[in-house]
Amino acid sequence: MMPTRTPFQILSLKDRPLDLAIWALLMGLAFWLRVPHFSPLALQFDEVEYAYCVKTNQFPHSPYLLFLWMGYLMKPFVSLDWGYSALSMVSSLATVFFIGSVAGKLTGSRTAGWMTALVWAIAPIALRVGAKQEVYAFQTCLLTLSWYLAVCHRKVLLSGLALGATFAAHNGTLFALPATLTLFYLVWSEPEKAESEGDTAPALPVRSAALWGPFAIGFAAPVLMVLTWIVGVWINFHGTEKLD
């Protein structure tokens, strides 16, 4: 008989002081490594574009619309240069937790989760985009949030909503879709044990089609919102004559 993997319990911080200490160290390390890369000013390319577009109500050339909308949410409270950098910093730190938790859940090992989180905490590409006014840390955070909700908590609707928001943040998320859907297909299963003489056969996965309906609804909501907004902007600029 195949060995039974011990279920991995996602952090219960009050009961696991060691977990709390290790995650605090990982987050502290990730924060410390990102501080030198924190950019309080938008200096080039996309960083300047989004800060400028939000300040002047312009439409950016790149359709990272949820990222653009985050700027409008921050605009009344903070300088956009600082705001977008802080958004990237918080997103990058959250990704450390999400990806580590997912790895721990999939492997059944908290140690594997911590090591995965450590890799992302010190990864050069994560450091480069994790504290400046670019969309990639925000996009990665939403993507790994979708994984976290699906794998660790089986929140199907919320997972779909997070994945749809990832597309709304950056259309390049399309390239992560095959692997993400495959992961969800493998995880969203219920064990079905086949009894045999004197023992129990290994659990067989049962694919639950009912899970995909709420997931699709959650996914469609932010995507349709973005598409509707794009159509509205197009009509506002060009009118309805060209639709005939």
Average pLDDT over residues 54-80: 86
What's the whole-model pTM score? Answer: 0.82
The answer to whether 159 and 218 are in contact (CB under 8 A) is yes
Task: Out of 29-33, 79-83, 188-192, pick the least confident.
Answer: 188-192
Residue 6: burial class (beta carbons within 10 Å; 0-12, 13-18, 19+): exposed
Average pLDDT over residues 17-43: 89
Helix, strand or coil, per DSSP, at residue 232: helix
Q: How confident is the model at residue 133 (pLDDT cuts 50, 70, 90)?
A: confident
Contacts of 37 (CB under 8 A, 6+ apart): 127, 128, 130, 131, 132
- Residue 14 pLDDT: 53
pLDDT 10s digits, 144-181:
999 999 999 988 999 999 999 999 999 889 999 999 99
Q: How would you write 78-124 as a 3-class SS string?
A: CCHHHHHHHHHHHHHHHHHHHHHHHHHHHHCCHHHHHHHHHHHHHCH
- The values of phi and psi at residue 196, to 5°, are -130, 175
Average pLDDT over residues 135-141: 94
